[in-house]
């Protein structure tokens, strides 16, 4: 999609990977017409939540569970080690 700055790797994913640094309040756009505002700065190649993820919710990337939300993660938030418990 022209103008997209984030990538959903698998249709089951509830996070997307940003393709450039996204400033707080910046627009994250992925294919399929999904667009949302970044709640905080998100570094290039990191994940952004596409939906609200309550504490304990599965975080899905590559169509697989990669971890669980360590706290409530709002849609548009940066998803990384500070709020994600990785699967072992």
Residues in a beta bridge with 85: 68
Q: What is the pLDDT of residues 3-60, one digit of tens each?
A: 899 999 999 999 999 999 999 999 999 977 889 999 999 999 999 999 999 999 999 9
pLDDT of residue 1: 47
Answer yes or no: is 1 within a domain: no
Q: What is the pLDDT of residues 63-74, one digit of tens each?
A: 999 999 999 999
State the total domains in the chain.
1
Q: Does the model's pTM come out above 0.85?
A: yes
Residue range of the domain that includes 71: 6-86
Distance of CA 58 to the CA centre of its chain: 12
SS3 64: strand
CA quadruple 36, 50, 8, 86: dihedral sign: positive
Residue 77: CB atoms within 10 Å: 22
Q: CATH no. for residue 59?
A: 2.30.130.110
């Amino acid at each position: 999609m022209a103008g997209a700055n984030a990538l959903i790797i698998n249709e089951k994913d509830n996070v997307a990977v940003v393709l450039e640094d996204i400033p707080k309040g910046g627009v994250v756009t992925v294919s399929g017409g999904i667009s949302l505002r970044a709640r905080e700065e998100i570094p290039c190649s990191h994940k952004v939540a596409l939906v609200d993820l309550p504490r304990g919710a599965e975080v899905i990337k590559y169509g697989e569970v990669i971890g669980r939300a360590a706290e409530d993660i709002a849609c548009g938030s940066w998803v990384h080690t500070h709020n994600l418990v990785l699967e072992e």
